Structure 1
Amino acid sequence: MSGQNHDEPAGADGDVRSPRDGVDPEVLEFAQMLFQLARDGETERLAAYVDAGVSPDLTNERGDALLMLAAYNGHPDTVRALLQRGAEVDRANDRGQTPLAGAVFKGYGEVVRALFEAGADPYGGTPTAVDTARMFEKDAFLELFGV
């Protein structure tokens, strides 16, 4: 995350990962709505769509999955709901960032705990959650990770 804009994960405002040529605009609009639900922590609405068949690992054009967007924006209930529905806990975006590292960077303790308790690897991704915690002196997270 060093040397990058830390306000948003890669693609926080990006579009669906697919060529735009030939993709139904309504499908793109629907996907954008799902990404926004994740960013906004609209847990019940997002969970209903996932329960109806939307992939919990849906990603935008920069590789940010719904879980990354929920984690980076500090929504522990949404994170838990996505994990309960099969979201890949360590799924990195196209920059190698994981939801755990993003939550550590932002200082969202409840999100960090939810991801870690679900099996997130604090040494996965680039930079790792451990490296991020060290860089930003988030000692409570290092303690949680057993470092």
Structure 2
Amino acid sequence: MIALGWDNDAQGGFIPFDAGFVDDQGLGTCVLISLFTDRRATADDGLPPAERRGWVGDMLAEVEGDRIGSRLWLLKREKQTEETRARAEEYAAEALAWLLNDGLVAAIELEAAWVRPSVLGLRVTLDGGATVPPIVTTLTVA
């Protein structure tokens, strides 16, 4: 699989290129796609159907209810509260649950923390040892 990288300053992914594409033998790219692809919002999220985003390919999933991405995008304009921090952990766990379900990891540890005003840091640890570099996402405080 071609590796993806994450640029905290630009708040976006990129394809590392060092005299050719970089190969990803680990789960880093899977984690980035799972966290930073927009999962369709649920009816409980309070958005009209036309604004729920999500990947159209989810309609073709072979496993009922199988979805790609996370609902972290819903936090973009939330206030800097404990509730928002906890929801970030909940949404990240939801997005990464497939790694557990498919037996790719034995455990996932998530920690979200406010690292400075309007910036939420998210640390993902897989299998209790392999750490994905900390991913920081910026939230606009309303």
Fold match (TM-score > 0.5) = no
From the two aligned structures, give the one with the greater strand fraction. 2
More helix by share: 1
Larger Rg: 2
TM-score (norm 2): 0.26
Give the alignment's TM-score, normalised by structure 1.
0.25
